[in-house]
Amino acid sequence: MSHYDFIVIGAGVIGTSVAHHLAAQGAQSVLVIEQGTIGAGTTSQSSGLLRTHYSVRQNVELARSSWWAFNNFAEYVGDDEASCGLVKCGYLICSPEGDKLEPLHASLAAQQDMGIEVRLLDKGEAHERLPIASFDDAALIGFEPEAGFADAYLVATGFARSARRRGVRIMEGVKVTDVVREGRRVTGVATSAGNFSCGTLISTQNIWTPELAGWIGVPLPVKPERHTVLALECEGAAYSFKMPAFKDLGSAGMLYYRSYGGSQMLVSEGVVGETLNSPETEQGDISLDYVAEVGAQVAERFPAYEIAGLASSWTGVYDVTPDWNPVLGKVADIEGLVVGFGFSGHGFKLSPGIGKILAQHALGQPTDVSLAPYALDRFASGALLVGKYGSGAVS
């Protein structure tokens, strides 16, 4: 049986980030096992938004360190040809009068206190940056210039190439079927390609995390939740790459927007989606009624889009925990196991920072951001990481 110091399950953007950071910090013997291909699971369905705006301070810290990685991706992975497809367009967020106003004010102030550049704009300044939008109802508008969007698949494959250059072995098309244990210690995995032993197992299984729960006999609170993304086209009001990504806290679906190139706008909801009975990444049905409902919300903020056409659509799946924040670190009294799951729509944005602190933890090093708030036992103790905006991906 082949032995590795570290085995990582999953080669999405989190798993490949962990592998890169393990190798970059000196790990000599690392195996990554992926049931499909690199970045082809939920990573490939990401809309790619990047921002540091969160209402949970620890998430802001992780997002800030991750932004530096995205903004300097070739240097970060040590490859002059690497690209994450970054479009640095900034990020606008606004709220009308109502229950989202004070959370937005507090979150913007917290970012500023942490030294993050955030500007408060009036309606005219906001309209100059996003001239296709109406801000008539806006009571508070924040603008984060160091933000934008990137390509999650490019990031995952970039991390994977970096890991391989540093000696990491990545096996694609191999499914883990069980863990191997000696008492309460995980000592390896059983797979479709045979058994492998390890010193530490790191699970980044995303929506397939319930499989791990069954193998170790410990409940892991995560569910797969499907969300829909629409690409709308409006020739008379093109959403250009120069225009900022935008979060509308005043819309019923807490919609977020960004350019999708040409004259297209990408839009999706930031609220609870459709809970699935089992993990799957297949495309779900998108009804015309749903398109009309979201389209009506879009037209309230972007009046010209009242006559926009639907260019394309797809669905993506989040691994959602009860408080919409991830679980990072150890699991109960199980030794030799580190987990990262339940990213609830944050995974890509935080992937460099998450990969680094999980690697640090696995290596027995101090972590750049404390794992304590992300501990599994918070669900039993009631110390939840609940965002100020309620359930949704702005946490």
pLDDT tens-digit series, residues 19-49: 999 999 999 999 999 999 999 999 999 999 9
Looking at residue 134, the DSSP 8-state letter turns out to be -
Instruction: Write the CB contacts of 208 (distance below 8 Å, at least 6 apart in sequence).
Output: 10, 35, 279
Looking at residue 139, the DSSP 8-state letter turns out to be S
What pLDDT shows up at residue 389?
Answer: 84
Is pLDDT of 84 > 70?
yes
Report domain extents, the chain: 2-51+152-222+323-381, 91-145+224-320
Q: Do 72 and 158 meet the contact criterion of CB atoms below 8 Å apart?
A: no
What pLDDT shows up at residue 360?
Answer: 98
Task: Enter the tokens of residue 325.
Answer: 């924040």
Instruction: Using pLDDT thresholds of 50, 70 and 90, give the confidence band for residue 394.
Output: low
CA distance readout (Å), 187 to 87, 199, 341: 43, 6, 20
Q: Which helix (H) or strand (E) holds 63?
A: helix 57-71
Average pLDDT value for the chain: 96
| SS3 category, 313 | strand
Fold of 91-145+224-320: D-Amino Acid Oxidase; Chain A, domain 2 (3.30.9)
Is pLDDT of 165 > 90?
yes
Phi, psi (degrees; rounded to nearest 5) at 48: 85, 10
Q: Which of 132, 118, 77 is nearest to 299 (CA)?
A: 132
Question: 2-51+152-222+323-381 falls under which CATH superfamily?
Answer: FAD/NAD(P)-binding domain (3.50.50.60)
CA distance readout (Å), 198 to 134, 217, 312, 365: 56, 20, 44, 19
Fold match flag (2-51+152-222+323-381 vs 91-145+224-320): no
Task: Enter the tokens of residue 124.
Answer: 């005219």
Is pLDDT of 392 > 80?
no
> What would the pLDDT profile of 287-305 be if each residue is shown by its tens digit?
999 999 999 999 999 999 9
Is pLDDT of 223 > 90?
yes
Q: In terms of C-beta distances under 8 Å and separation of at least 24 residues, what long-range contacts does 118-121 make, across chains too?
A: 118/53, 118/142, 118/143, 118/144, 119/143, 119/144, 119/145, 121/92
Q: What's the CA dihedral at 204, 227, 373, 119 to 10 degrees?
A: 120
Phi, psi (degrees; rounded to nearest 5) at 313: -160, 155
> What would the pLDDT profile of 296-331 be if each residue is shown by its tens digit?
999 999 999 999 999 999 999 999 999 999 999 999
Instruction: Using pLDDT thresholds of 50, 70 and 90, give the confidence band for residue 393.
Output: low
What pLDDT shows up at residue 289?
Answer: 96
Q: CA 367 to CA 332: how far, in whole Å?
A: 19
What pLDDT shows up at residue 386?
Answer: 87
Question: Look-up: residue for tokens 């009975």?
Answer: 277
